[in-house]
């Protein structure tokens, strides 16, 4: 694996590659790992119990998931700069709106706005743009998006803690709104300069490929020549075999980060020692994304995806078997390996299976499931703990789920290979 391939990608497509990374980074303002930092302050401000705050968060997240199939599809019909501006302005509005609410019902709506614009649509823009417009370098371009997520995980939680301590959670979110409006919006549009020509070339190449009865033998493209519509995907049984596996990373990782401090209390670990490992986790995610991006371009996402859940199952098994505090490091390393591997390989999978013309509509289905899964994960573990299980015991149920989902991924991918579609 060589960094030279990424250097060449950045040299040839500097702005557009940076666009994917920056938009992924900005999605952090709607992600659980960052909103969780604000959770305690919001609970105190609104007088919410842990259960009530969890209910508010889940309600807002589920509302976001219900809307994503509609708003996510728009990227197929709008120019990318216009759609990006819409999403970025929505995120700025969401960050400002939450500073103005003083009732629980409006708080649910504020969480919905943050989850919809941040976790949902910003991530959707980054992955769909890289998957659609990069062909031979799709794996490496997708890896840059994963790096953007990891960069946010490494930098923003600490900044959030410092900001809340200095000015409170409301003024901190006001700062987010200003940052998104003044920095991310103009930067994103600047990085998309010249995109009209890129889109015209993409349309021309796509029409040429779709006009062929079979994909030319000399083409190195791994994307499906046939572009499936969303209604056709919904009729494909293999899609449903994929769903438990491609949503597992979001569900399990969100659940673990949501309950990390509870896990630390259960095992007698220091909160500081546990959270200090987040930087290592982010470095591992970036490193694994770099490696996986090149593997996808060399082999295919279809060849890699069935193996993506195994590192996560290993990480959770460590938590169950070992109580010593040193296990935090190998646990976070394997968690990082799993996230970097899965985020990159799974996001490159959809063009290979279903083509690129209707990629926005198809990926919006994927993101809907991902958002639902991210809402379910913390509740899954919380329910088991409330019924008398230790967290280290509860995670074994997720290990079983990951292994069953892995089996389904193998069956699904084998089905695609045998049909050559």
pLDDT digits (tens, 9 = 90+) for 119-171: 889 998 998 888 888 767 777 788 888 888 888 888 888 788 889 889 999 99
How far is it, in rounded angstroms, from Cα 360 to Cα 275?
35
pLDDT tens per residue, range 66-75 = 898 889 889 8
Is 165 within 8 Å of 59 (Cβ atoms)? no
Domain definitions of the chain by residue range: 14-210+232-419
Number of residues in the chain: 421
For residues 225, 227, 233, 239, the Cα torsion angle rounded to the nearest 10 degrees is 40
Highest mean pLDDT among 49-53, 225-229, 283-287: 283-287
DSSP state of 218: T
Contact 136, 220 (CB under 8 A): yes
pTM above 0.75, yes or no: yes
Q: How far apart are CA 165 and CA 389, in angstroms?
A: 34
Distance in angstroms (rounded) separating the CA atoms of residues 421 and 409? 16
Task: Please work out, in degrees rounded to the nearest 5, the angle formed at the alpha carbon of residue 160 by the alpha carbons of 63 and 185.
Answer: 65
User: Which pLDDT tens digit goes with each residue over 270-329?
Assistant: 877 887 788 888 889 888 988 888 888 888 888 899 999 999 999 999 999 998 889 999
Q: How far apart are CA 19 and CA 189, in angstroms?
A: 9
User: What does 373-389 look like in DSSP terms, one character per residue?
Assistant: HHHHHHHHHHHHHHTT-
Write the CATH number of the domain with boundaries 14-210+232-419.
Answer: 1.20.1250.20
């Amino acid at each position: 694996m060589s960094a030279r391939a990424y250097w060449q990608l950045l040299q040839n497509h500097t702005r557009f590659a940076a666009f994917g990374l920056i938009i992924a980074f900005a999605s952090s303002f709607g992600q659980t790992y960052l909103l969780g930092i604000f959770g305690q302050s919001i609970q105190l401000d609104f007088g919410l119990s842990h259960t009530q705050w969890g209910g508010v968060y889940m309600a807002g997240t589920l509302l976001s998931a219900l809307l994503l199939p509609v708003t996510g599809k728009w990227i197929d019909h709008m120019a990318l700069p216009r759609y990006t501006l819409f999403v970025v302005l929505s995120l700025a509005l969401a960050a400002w709106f939450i500073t103005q609410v003083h009732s629980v019902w409006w708080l649910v709506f504020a969480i919905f706005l943050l989850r919809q614009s941040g976790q949902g649509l910003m991530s959707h823009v980054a992955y769909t743009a890289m998957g659609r417009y990069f062909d031979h370098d799709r794996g490496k371009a997708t890896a840059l998006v994963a790096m953007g997520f990891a960069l946010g995980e490494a930098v923003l939680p600490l900044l959030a803690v410092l900001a809340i301590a200095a000015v409170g959670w409301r003024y901190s979110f006001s700062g987010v709104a200003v940052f998104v409006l003044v920095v991310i919006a103009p930067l994103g549009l600047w990085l998309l300069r010249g995109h009209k020509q890129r889109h015209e070339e993409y349309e021309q190449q796509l029409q040429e490929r779709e006009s062929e009865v079979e994909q030319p033998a000399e083409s190195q493209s791994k994307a499906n020549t046939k572009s499936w519509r969303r209604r056709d995907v919904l009729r494909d049984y293999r899609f449903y075999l994929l769903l438990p596996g491609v949503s597992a990373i979001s569900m399990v990782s969100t659940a673990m980060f949501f309950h990390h401090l509870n896990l630390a209390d259960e095992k007698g670990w220091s909160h500081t020692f546990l959270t200090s490992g987040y930087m290592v986790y982010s470095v591992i995610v970036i490193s694994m994304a770099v490696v996986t991006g090149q593997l996808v371009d060399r082999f295919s996402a279809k060849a890699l995806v069935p193996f993506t859940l195994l590192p996560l199952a290993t990480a959770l098994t460590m938590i169950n078997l070992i109580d010593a505090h040193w296990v935090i490091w190998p646990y976070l390393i394997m968690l990082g390996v799993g996230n970097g591997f899965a985020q990159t390989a799974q996001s490159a999978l959809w063009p290979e299976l279903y083509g690129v013309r209707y990629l926005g509509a198809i990926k919006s289905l994927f993101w809907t499931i991902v958002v639902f899964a991210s809402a379910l994960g913390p509740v899954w573990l919380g329910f088991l703990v409330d019924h008398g299980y230790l967290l280290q015991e509860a995670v074994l149920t997720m290990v079983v789920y990951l292994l069953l989902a892995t089996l389904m991924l193998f069956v699904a991918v084998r089905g695609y290979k045998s049909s050559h579609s």
